[in-house]
Amino acid sequence: MRIVDSVSTEHKTDAELIAAVTRGDRNAFADIVRRYEAVVASTVIGMLGAGDAAEEAGQVAMIKIYNGLDRFRADSSFKTYVTRIAMNTALDELRRRKRFLSRFFTRADSDAADPIDDIPASDNVAGNLEQRQLVLNALNQLKPEFRSVAVLRLMQGYSTAEVAAILNLSEGTVFSRLSRARQHLKAALESEIYDE
């Protein structure tokens, strides 16, 4: 019975799953979590690095999505909505870290990039772990306003218009932040880029 349920919900559209959750079917939300786990992971790990903070931010983002589903108005795609919540949660965490650090360190110290955890050895996703760590380290050197556009555009493949909508910025601002982010990333990943 349970298997039949899970098979049937896999073919449901986002709108059908959202409607089911707002009617009180929490199991339908499990399908939403499965469907958008990768989107949330790319956003929060790209912003915070792999580790416990990203896991916590990912869970908090999913809970926020669950609590706010009845307010989702479908004026943007659900994927964009999910990404926006995940990004805002990650930015909140970065602000919290900065506030915490500013209590104990000088301004120069607290503005410096945060150390990020190594990607766990048991990480189950495909790809070049070493290269991924280099990319995450390079992203971590960027200030959050540049990191956010780089994560959305370069890692998640959103168009500049979508990035502007998610971050509530003008397209011109996204163009200029992307350009700056690319310069920094190019410098940080020079060996990777030219070893290709």
Residue nearer to another protein on the CB measure, 106 or 113: 113
Rounded to a whole number of angstroms, the minimum distance from the CB of residue 1 to another protein is 18
List 9, 46, 89, 166, residue binding another protein (CB under 8 A) = 46
Work out the number of other CB atoms within 10 angstroms of the CB of residue 34. 12
Residue nearer to another protein on the CB measure, 47 or 91: 47
List 6, 8, 77, 179, residue binding another protein (CB under 8 A) = 179
Residue nearer to another protein on the CB measure, 77 or 102: 77
- The 3-class SS string of 131-164 reads HHHHHHHHHHCCCHHHHHHHHHHHHCCCCHHHHH
Range in contact with another protein (rule: CB under 8 A) among 34-42, 85-93, 94-102, 109-117: 34-42
CA 121 to chain centre: 21
Question: Cβ contacts of residue 40 below 8 Å, gap of 6+?
Answer: 58, 61, 62, 82, 83, 86
**Cβ–Cβ < 8 Å for 66, 24:** no
**Cβ–Cβ < 8 Å for 151, 66:** no
Site string for another protein, 108-147 (x = CB under 8 A): ------------x-xxxxxxxx-xx-xxx-----------
Rounded to a whole number of angstroms, the minimum distance from the CB of residue 107 to another protein is 31
# of chain residues touching another protein (CB under 8 A): 53
